[in-house]
Structure 1
Amino acid sequence: MRYFIGLLNLRFKNFYNLYISDHAYVRWFLFNNFHTIDHDIYRSGQPTPRNIRKYKKKYNIKIILTLRRPSETGYFLLEDEVAKKIGIQLIDIPIRAKVLPSKDTIKLILNLFDSLAHPILIHCKSGADRTGFVAALYLFYKYNDIDKAKSQLSLRFFHNKYTETGIIDAFFDEIEKIGLQNNELYDWLDNSYNEDYIREKYKKSKK
């Protein structure tokens, strides 16, 4: 009996963490900030188990790319559990909203674009900033269209470039300024990309 009570307590703790501590109840009112990036690429905030089952049934999601760090907290444990149950591969590449990723992290994301089975769901916590970065990166890499890429960074997705997360916009502003083409992206990352330079340049622009 104590074992089952312990399981119930753990289950309650995980759902409490997801819905209350991680603010899933807020995301519910915003339809989890779910949007289509491309015909088989989607973006959202942290999905609940119910969201994941819905996305699997409606969009046949095969891969979930989470930009959050794996942890022993409820939101991750529940996501991992339901993904395994319904045959979705969960991949984590943690990035931050106010710090640009390293070149190796960006290259890893690009490699995943080329190698992963589709359809794919990309998410962070709110689906605004980190998810916006990866969505914009995907569209630039696929279509070589900087305006199309930057459209993923807007208030429509609750991304505000006038806060510290504007560093994400600065990344794509730099790409636009130097006239980078998508087939030059890997070379730029290897030889020219400097997140510290972009950050300092961004800070000066805010003074």
Structure 2
Amino acid sequence: MSRARAWRDSLLRDHAYFRLAWSNFAEVIPGRVYRANHPPPWRLERWVREHGVQTVINLRGTKYSGSDALSRAAAERLGVDHVDFAFESRGAPQRSRVLRFASLYRTMRMPALLHCKSGADRAGLAAGLVVLLE
């Protein structure tokens, strides 16, 4: 997907125009774990610079959208690990998925950023799990 097409898809189909000015960014574990909505590339770059983010966990799972293409490209350019890990945005997660997340959490490079589309449901669930795991 070309960069121009990725931006068009991100802004229009994925409603990223809402996320250009709003980030829903919060610290979960001081200096180690943050949560947010799906960041545009320039915001991810700022968080890598300001907070030392080493791993990005995309809680939306593997999607072939402009937002994800832009995020993967930014993470690669910045030398940041990018992991797709799907949590449901509605309903309780499966036990097996929670256990896989716990395993991922124990092995990922820190500091880490957990994000979903809006930074509330899936990111909130993952943030709660992180607090319990600590």
Give 5+ residue unaligned stretches, structure 2: none
Cα distance in 2, alignment partners of residues 69 and 41 from structure 1: 19
4+ residue runs over 3 A deviation:
none
Larger CA deviation: 36-45 vs 15-24: 15-24
Give the structure 2 partner of residue 180 of structure 1.
Answer: none
Count of matched residue pairs: 133
2:59–2:115 CA contact under 8 A, matched in 1 = yes
1:75 to 67, 75, 92: 67
**Identity across matched positions, percent:** 26
Contact 1:67 / 1:95 at 8 angstroms: preserved in 2?
Answer: yes
Do structure 1's residue 49 and structure 2's residue 77 form an aligned pair?
Answer: no
The answer for the alignment partner of 2:88 in structure 1 is 96
Between structures 1 and 2, the one with greater strand share: 2
What amino acid is aligned across from residue 11 of structure 2 in structure 1? Y
Alpha-carbon RMSD: 1.4
Residue 29 of structure 2 is matched in structure 1 by 38
Q: How far apart are the structure 1 equivalents of 2:25 and 2:113?
A: 9
Determine if contact 1:16/1:74 at 8 Å carries over to the other structure: yes
Question: C-alpha offsets along residues 63-84 of structure 1, whole Å, 9 cap, x if unaligned?
Answer: 0011112222111111111101
Question: SS at 2:44's partner residue?
Answer: helix
Superposed, 1:160-175 pairs within 5 Å as none
Equivalent residue number for residue 27 of structure 1? 19
2:90 and 2:129 map into 1 onto residues whose CA distance is 16
Structure with higher helix content: 1
Larger Rg: 1
TM-score by length of 1: 0.61
